[in-house]
Amino acid sequence: MTVDINTTYDVQAIRADFPILQRRIGSYPLIYLDNAATSQKPRQVIDALVHYYEFSNANVHRGLHTLAEEATEAYETARAKVARFIGAEPESLVFTRNTTEAINLVAYAWGLANLREGDVVVLSEMEHHSNIVPWQLVARLTGAKLHYVPFTSDGELDSDALEQTLRLEPKLVAITHVSNVLGTVNPVEEITRKAHEAGARVLVDGAQAVPHKPVDVRRIGCDFYAFSGHKMLAPTGIGALYARRELLEQMPPFMGGGSMIRKVTHASSTWADVPTKLEAGTPNIADAVALGAAVDYLQAVGMEAIQQHERQLTEEALRLLDGEEDIEIYGPRNASRRCGLVSFNFKHVHPHDAAQILDQRGIAIRAGHHCCQIIMRKLDVTATARASFYLYNTIEEVRTFWKALDDVRKVFGKHGGR
Amino acid sequence: MTVDINTTYDVQAIRADFPILQRRIGSYPLIYLDNAATSQKPRQVIDALVHYYEFSNANVHRGLHTLAEEATEAYETARAKVARFIGAEPESLVFTRNTTEAINLVAYAWGLANLREGDVVVLSEMEHHSNIVPWQLVARLTGAKLHYVPFTSDGELDSDALEQTLRLEPKLVAITHVSNVLGTVNPVEEITRKAHEAGARVLVDGAQAVPHKPVDVRRIGCDFYAFSGHKMLAPTGIGALYARRELLEQMPPFMGGGSMIRKVTHASSTWADVPTKLEAGTPNIADAVALGAAVDYLQAVGMEAIQQHERQLTEEALRLLDGEEDIEIYGPRNASRRCGLVSFNFKHVHPHDAAQILDQRGIAIRAGHHCCQIIMRKLDVTATARASFYLYNTIEEVRTFWKALDDVRKVFGKHGGR
Amino acid sequence: MVDDELYREIILEHYHHPRFKGALPDASMSAEGMNPLCGDEITLYLKTDGDRIVDVRFDGRGCSISQASASMLTEALRGLTLAEAKRLQERVKAMLTGAPHEPFDEDDDLNALEGVRQYPVRIKCALLAWTTLEELLEAT
Amino acid sequence: MVDDELYREIILEHYHHPRFKGALPDASMSAEGMNPLCGDEITLYLKTDGDRIVDVRFDGRGCSISQASASMLTEALRGLTLAEAKRLQERVKAMLTGAPHEPFDEDDDLNALEGVRQYPVRIKCALLAWTTLEELLEAT
Ligand SMILES: Cc1ncc(COP(=O)(O)O)c(C=O)c1O
Ligand SMILES: Cc1ncc(COP(=O)(O)O)c(C=O)c1O
């Protein structure tokens, strides 16, 4: 990898690190614009996996032999890297499978211990199902109540509504950093400050933020922050929860099992120190190590540079789509108010059909509810199409995507013929 | 891989598939006898990971584009393979991180919905912490009571005590198939029959069974069966829970999030079909695919052949250790009553010290409580040493291990000098 | 470039001009279906006279495949007995899932759905109306 | 072949002949420590006269490193004031964790523990007695 943030952004050098970008779909080169669903993986991350399994594979923490020491060292080094990447200390970082597990961990471990009948939990209407359903499950077990802050027609969080909801003295505000449908970047720093003033804990869903922009959990000030490795160049099966250390220490464990205990007796057990207390059983060691390698890669390119590059792609996509009268765009129009994705719909073609036809040109976009049925209902659609960008996408790819929309029109007619 | 179960077992051909076995520890070749903690990975499994990431990586289930279809196909094919490997239908197999998560899933989802104050859950005193602590956590939330079936001085489950405990009409019997300390193979078929007669559900912890012997969950008849991929040639981060389909269907979900829903509204949600209902968020797709490759590998060698090979290694280890008057062996003496591992202690040397000295000869064994503090207390030790075997270990390795015990004696004296 | 196998003319025609679309206020029975993967929704209305289906309508939103399939269903069901409807439903399901079935005539609109079989993700779209019908018939 | 760096003679000597091992029924204070990774246990007993430690014992089970370290502790603590004991505990901890510290004399038994530093997993063994002491002193 030869990228240097001090020179120009060398997207071709980056692309050369991603073997899958050589792939063809039928006779077309792959244009992968489904990065909000999952990202592709550079050679360096794949190599980290292979090296781990060919050289140091062992179970961690409990072994005295050389491989076990090396595996433990690699695993804990990865934890320190990932923690540093978001401005946290290693003891505050729990490895999970993904964002979803991180949020469920908080819902079960912190939620069951801290929520009581009638307590208020504040969500927003732009949350991913992963930041809704865990709270519904825990609300059913505890009797807590959920309140949803709406978003405006611009796709921005309704800040007046938020302030009103905070008067209910919620126990928790759980909010996404970046919406995976609208692209909106929420002002999580300000939301955290207000929520803290109202006495609430704050959980931020960072699944769409950490891969795409610099994130510093200390600056945000939130209590919990969740994200997924697979959306940031790392393998599937690894993610993380940051939590303020004193909360981690006070929380009862989530899952029980090996590693997370201090002493087990017939009747009860005591717990290991944080973060191990929250990591029951054999962890996903290799994928954690590879997440460390992904963080190295992202840092070498530079998160500012990545954000800047994606903004250019997003601006171009917004500009091109905005000129089409048969297309509706969702979310903020100003690229500086959003992250690198654009949701849209043909007025007369279902997004499934659009996605299918683009696939025949090698262009991978996503069509569906994007795990955000509440947003869909508000937009009064059942699904949207979404093109989402990452560090290896090019302006030419964005233009090819835009041109391919004409193929959709060829099948369905300029106005869908309906 | 050129192994054919109809000819002799070609351990050298198998070894050639495992890159890590080329490794040297200092000047000694690695002798890896820590397989009960985690297994090594063959080239074929590592290649499956690399191929997935270089060729078909995408998020599953929700995508219309080619990569998403390929990823979904690969993931569901792996599910079908793994299910067939243990005699189950794909709809009954939920992917989890490991055995620990599989058991916690049952404890939270089935346990919170089905256990009430005073209900009895039966465990054994030879359980791994992963099959104890989840029940302690759920007992605390529900008021259920735990009863432990003891084991005899031979390391066998006390079947009279089990029958007595069943008179308490337990709701659940949760028992390990193979003990990771004693090596004991429990008669899970018979236990399940008796427990069902008593009206209990049965969960079997198969972490040490599935990697080492043929397992058929239909023949066992149990309601739940849990195991880990990383102990059976697959990557870390993937495991599985088998559950009888009607139980899966009746159970509320465990974690909430993407994929596992049908319809989400502000107030509540409905669930997807099994097994997706139990798999919230982006699954560990690549490692599931690689677990499929591991199952292919094990089946090509043949589980009967592997079991037979390990029995020879275990018999040799028992024979050699049994001749040493300064060594105590734990668990059944008859190799046909156990799986491929031997726990032991020097009468006068702590197992940590023994393991450390063996490591200096390139021999990796484990020393500690093996996540079984209740067994340790019954054996009146704080830790044991454990040598555990797998398909790639050789009789020569077992003998080298045994000879290296003399190095321990050289440092600590024949009788520990104490 | 354009996928003729999937987007056959007859499918696009049904999509652009769906037959019998809209609510049926005096329906004898109705059922709602949903494809949780994509959010497509459908409501199916049947009006029966004794054992015979005298009116069928569908409502809802979805892709061309799910809408065309629903439109074809409303046309095909009209005038059948409930038992015949059940047999037709089983036949379409078998065609879409690759199970043995009596093939449809070349010029039967339903025959156009066979192309969907090559698109695993879209099979669920084509099936939506028919699984909703299955549930509705089971409920009677 | 045999690791002289870890298993120095003085460590083995303390392990084989632990000083002041066993319960101390008239202890002024005691604390239990445990290494959750391996199950090693230790109980530490101190008897003080005013501010001064007049008797120290340890009991428990563990590997050569944890036992030798505990034995050295009992010898080293004898006769110190509680404040001196605290300083010694910090100095040993610093040595074992690689923090800056005043080195021990070549012929001080505690100096033999320095070799443990190269064995990350064993550091916890060597620390066990000293972290138990830390907790005990904090509780006063
Ligand atoms: C019998 C038994 N049960 C459960 C486990 C836990 O497995 P995992 O750590 O993969 O969840 C193990 C392995 O450590 C085991 O040996
Ligand atoms: C905003 C947001 N939150 C949560 C998730 C869930 O992530 P995962 O499936 O990795 O748990 C996603 C991605 O799908 C997302 O975009």
What chains are in contact with C, requiring at least 3 Cβ pairs below 8 Å?
Answer: A, B
Q: Is 70 exceeded by the pLDDT of residue A403? A: yes
Q: How far is the CA of B100 from the centre of ligand 1 (A)?
A: 7
Average pLDDT, chain B: 95
Q: What is the 3-state secondary structure (H, E, C) of D58-93?
A: EEEECCHHHHHHHHHHHHHHCCCEHHHHHHHHHHHH
Cβ-in-10-Å burial (0-12, 13-18, 19+) of D22 comes to exposed
Judged by a CB distance cut-off of 8 A, whether residue D65 touches chain B is yes
Judged by a CB distance cut-off of 8 A, whether residue A359 touches chain C is no
Nearest to A187 by CA among A197, A198, A177: A177
pLDDT the model gives residue D3: 54
Binary contact (A261, D36; C-beta < 8 A): yes
Does residue A205 have its Cβ closer than 6 Å to ligand 2?
yes
Smallest Cβ distance to B61: which of C34, C37, C122? C37
Give yes or no for a cis peptide into A211 (omega within 30° of 0): no
Cβ-in-10-Å burial (0-12, 13-18, 19+) of B72 comes to buried
Contacts of residue B8, defined as CB under 8 A and 6 or more positions apart, other chains included, come to: none
- At D1, is the pLDDT very low, low, confident or very high (cuts 50, 70, 90)? very low
CA–CA distance, A94 with A273 (Å, rounded to integer): 12
Query: What is each CA distance from A222 to A205, A217, A238, in whole angstroms?
Result: 11, 7, 22
User: Average of pLDDT values for C64-87?
Assistant: 96
Handedness of CA C54, C57, C63, C64 (dihedral sign): positive
DSSP label at B184?
B
User: Average of pLDDT values for B232-252?
Assistant: 98
Average pLDDT, chain A: 95
Based on the residue annotation, tell me whether A371 is a catalytic residue of this protein: yes
* CATH class of domain segment(s) D9-139: alpha beta
B46-299 — its CATH code?
A: 3.40.640.10
pLDDT the model gives residue C3: 54
Its pTM stands at 0.95
Smallest Cβ distance to A262: which of D34, D120, D122? D34
DSSP label at A19?
G
Strands B239-243 and B93-96 turn out to be antiparallel
The neighbouring-strand residues paired with D32 are D43
Q: Identify the active-site residue in B222, B339, B371, B372.
A: B371
CB B235 within 8 Å of CB B291: yes
Q: Look at chain B and count its residues.
A: 418
Q: How far is the CA of A100 from the centre of ligand 2 (A)?
A: 7
Q: Is 60 exceeded by the pLDDT of residue A417? A: no
Nearest to A31 by CA among A263, A409, A358, A328: A358
**Using one digit for the tens of pLDDT, what is the confidence trace for A378-387?**
999 999 999 9
Determine the 3-state secondary structure of C97 from DSSP: helix
In the CATH scheme, what architecture does the domain A11-32+302-412 have? Alpha-Beta Complex (3.90)
pLDDT the model gives residue B416: 47
Domain assignments of chain C as residue spans, ordered by start? 9-139
Average pLDDT, chain C: 92
> Which bound ligand lies closest to the C-alpha atom of A225?
2
Tokens found for residue B417: 């000098």
CA–CA distance, A293 with A315 (Å, rounded to integer): 30
Our answer on whether A and B touch (3+ beta-carbon pairs < 8 Å) is yes
**Which mutation among A61, A282, A284 tests ligand 1's pocket best, with the greatest number of atoms within 8 A of CB?**
A282
Tokens found for residue C37: 């993967």
CB A331 within 8 Å of CB A338: yes
- At A61, is the pLDDT very low, low, confident or very high (cuts 50, 70, 90)? confident
CB D56 within 8 Å of CB D77: yes
Q: Is 90 exceeded by the pLDDT of residue D10? A: yes
- Amino acid residing at B78: A
Strands A239-243 and A261-264 turn out to be unpaired
ipTM of predicted assembly, 2 dp: 0.94
Backbone φ, ψ for residue A339 (5° rounding): -95, 180
Average pLDDT, chain D: 92
Tokens found for residue A385: 């199409």
C-beta contacts of D82-90 below 8 A and 24+ residues apart: D82/D48, D82/D51, D82/D52, D82/D53, D82/D137, D82/D140, D83/D51, D85/D53, D85/D133, D85/D137, D86/D137, D89/D130, D89/D133, D89/D134, D89/D137
Q: Is 50 exceeded by the pLDDT of residue C29? A: yes
- Amino acid residing at D121: V
CB A62 within 8 Å of CB B383: no
Q: Which residue has the tokens 């599935």?
A: B210
Alpha helix stretches (DSSP H) within B167-244: 188-197, 217-220
- At B7, is the pLDDT very low, low, confident or very high (cuts 50, 70, 90)? low
- Amino acid residing at B229: G
Q: Is 50 exceeded by the pLDDT of residue D139? A: yes
pLDDT the model gives residue A414: 65
The neighbouring-strand residues paired with D42 are D33, D60
Judged by a CB distance cut-off of 8 A, whether residue A73 touches chain D is yes
DSSP label at C102?
P
Tokens found for residue C13: 């025609």
pLDDT the model gives residue B335: 86
Nearest to B233 by CA among B292, B173, B273: B292
DSSP label at A180?
T
Percent of chain B scored above 90 by pLDDT? 94
Domain assignments of chain B as residue spans, ordered by start? 11-32+302-412, 46-299
Q: Is 50 exceeded by the pLDDT of residue B417? A: no
Q: Is 50 exceeded by the pLDDT of residue B4? A: no
Nearest CA in chain B to C39: B263
Q: How far is the CA of B240 from the centre of ligand 2 (A)?
A: 22
pLDDT the model gives residue B415: 54
- At D40, is the pLDDT very low, low, confident or very high (cuts 50, 70, 90)? confident
Percent of chain B scored above 70 by pLDDT? 97
pLDDT the model gives residue A415: 54
CA–CA distance, A36 with A180 (Å, rounded to integer): 7
pLDDT the model gives residue B61: 74
CA–CA distance, A307 with B77 (Å, rounded to integer): 37
- At A54, is the pLDDT very low, low, confident or very high (cuts 50, 70, 90)? very high
DSSP label at B174?
E
> Which bound ligand lies closest to the C-alpha atom of A175?
2
Binary contact (A286, B237; C-beta < 8 A): yes
Residues in chain D with CB shorter than 8 Å from the CB of B411 are 2, 7, 12
Query: What is each CA distance from B338 to B153, B232, B335, B386, in whole angstroms?
Result: 15, 18, 5, 14
Q: Which residue has the tokens 């290799």?
A: A286
pLDDT the model gives residue D118: 87
Tokens found for residue C113: 């759905």
CA–CA distance, D110 with D100 (Å, rounded to integer): 16
Q: What is the 3-state secondary structure (H, E, C) of C13-32?
A: HHHHCCCCECCCCCCCEEEE
Contacts of residue A73, defined as CB under 8 A and 6 or more positions apart, other chains included, come to: D120
Q: Is 70 exceeded by the pLDDT of residue A3? A: no
Contacts of residue B311, defined as CB under 8 A and 6 or more positions apart, other chains included, come to: B335, B336, B340
- At A10, is the pLDDT very low, low, confident or very high (cuts 50, 70, 90)? very high
CB B5 within 8 Å of CB B339: no
Q: Is 50 exceeded by the pLDDT of residue C75? A: yes
pLDDT the model gives residue B357: 95
Percent of chain C scored above 90 by pLDDT? 81
- At A34, is the pLDDT very low, low, confident or very high (cuts 50, 70, 90)? very high
Identity of the highest mean pLDDT range in B226-235, C26-35, D119-128: B226-235
Handedness of CA A280, A285, A288, A292 (dihedral sign): positive
- At A416, is the pLDDT very low, low, confident or very high (cuts 50, 70, 90)? very low
Nearest CA in chain C to B271: C36
> Residue with the nearest Cα to atom 15 of ligand 2?
A207
Size of interface B-C (CB pairs under 8 A): 18
**Using one digit for the tens of pLDDT, what is the confidence trace for D101-120?**
999 999 999 999 999 998 88
